[in-house]
Amino acid sequence: MNVIISNQKRDMLKGLNIEVIKELHGEFDAEQLASSFKNFFFQKMILDITALKNYKDIKTMQKLSLSLDMNKVILVLDENSTTVSPTFMSQLISLGIYNFTTNLDGIMYLYNSPNSYRDVAHLHLINQTVEESKPTNIFSSVSAPKESSNNFDGNARILGIKCAAKQSGATTLTYMMKKTLEQYYSVVAIEVDKSDFRFFNDKNMISTTNGNIAEVISKVKNYDVILIDVNNSNNAISMCGDIIYLLEPSIIKLNKMLLINPDILSEMQNKKLVLNQSLLKDKDISDFEFESNLKVFYNLPPLNERIKSSPELNQLLYKLGFTKIS
């Protein structure tokens, strides 16, 4: 059984599909939590870092780590603070804390496949002081719009694009999103474990592997926006601040999807579902939501990939938090 301790992330953590034996909400001293759970048996603790008083001080995490088995703790970082800076994450690693993220997909990935030091070694800044490290954020969220005169306050916003069913158009949509966004932001796109991007002949569209995705992200961290065609990469999913799931709602695609994975509809609960290349009207969407018990985040019609932008794509990107797009 699991423990959830939440504060600012309470609403997000309600979407976790895990068994919970105890749940606390509010702000707590590290010593208070350590004392409460020191002899309490639990499988995993999902800890919203904002539930800790003075959570921006690494010494708070040090106090907690002295009493709890941090291998059982999944730390949910605050994407709007220094807790997602390279320095803070490196300090977490030095304390033996390897499981941290900012989103539900990252939590579930770490829940099923906990990190070891090897998985986070690339984030460990050996012999580097706080003053030497400039803030960045490989887990920043695009769900909350943040405007800045330059570079989103220095933090790259990482958006994942994933096909809920095979061949739902993630590669082409990533390309079109990049073309639209780069009119307002500096943008780079990455695909994982495929090489389809080469056909676009764009130097800011990079192909890499599941094992190298973290290294690639570290090299492009100064861009405003990083788009990732995640394919089946769990590493890529864990690094995204937000993810949209694409589904082409044709009858043949839906039936093939259900045949391959009968549980896909339940797995898509609480996801940002985008109907891609969709010809459905409002009434059709209502019927689809009722029949599937899913909520559609956005209905995107077929688009001309040769044009730089379209009103429909602009609206999707604005809804995702890219507010420079009018």
- Dump pLDDT digits (tens) for 188-241: 999 998 888 988 889 899 999 888 888 889 889 889 999 999 998 888 888 898
The conformation of residue 123, written as its DSSP 8-state character, comes to G
| Phi, psi angles (nearest 5°) of residue 176 | -70, -40
pLDDT tens-digit profile of 151-185? 333 468 999 999 887 667 899 999 999 999 999 99
Distance CA 305, CA 179 (A): 9
pLDDT tens-digit profile of 76-111? 998 888 888 888 888 898 888 999 998 888 899 899
| Sheet containing 242-247, strands listed edge to edge, beginning at the edge strand earlier in sequence | 205-208, 187-192, 225-229, 157-163, 242-247, 272-275, 296-299
Q: How confident is the model at residue 254 (pLDDT cuts 50, 70, 90)?
A: low
Cβ–Cβ < 8 Å for 285, 275: yes
What pLDDT sits at residue 171? Answer: 92
pTM of the full structure = 0.55
Q: In terms of Cα–Cα distance, which of 260, 279, 267, 256 is closest to 288?
A: 279
Kind and range of the H or E element at 267? helix 264-267
pLDDT more than 90, % of the chain: 33
How big is the CA angle at 182 (ends 177 and 183), to the nearest 5 degrees? 110
What pLDDT sits at residue 210? Answer: 86
Q: 99-119: buried (b, 16+ CB within 10 Å) or exposed (e) per residue? A: bbbbbbbbbbbbbeeebeeeb
Mind giving me the DSSP string for 235-263? Answer: HHHHH-SEEEEEE---HHHHHHHHHH-TT
Residue 147 has pLDDT above 50, yes or no: no
39-53, 120-134, 205-219, 241-255: least confident range: 120-134
Cβ–Cβ < 8 Å for 86, 136: yes
Cβ–Cβ < 8 Å for 222, 156: yes
pLDDT tens-digit profile of 306-320? 887 789 999 999 999
Distance CA 7, CA 142 (A): 20
Sign of the dihedral defined by the CA atoms of residues 244, 205, 316, 83, in that order: positive
Count of helices and strands (H, E) across the chain: 13, 12
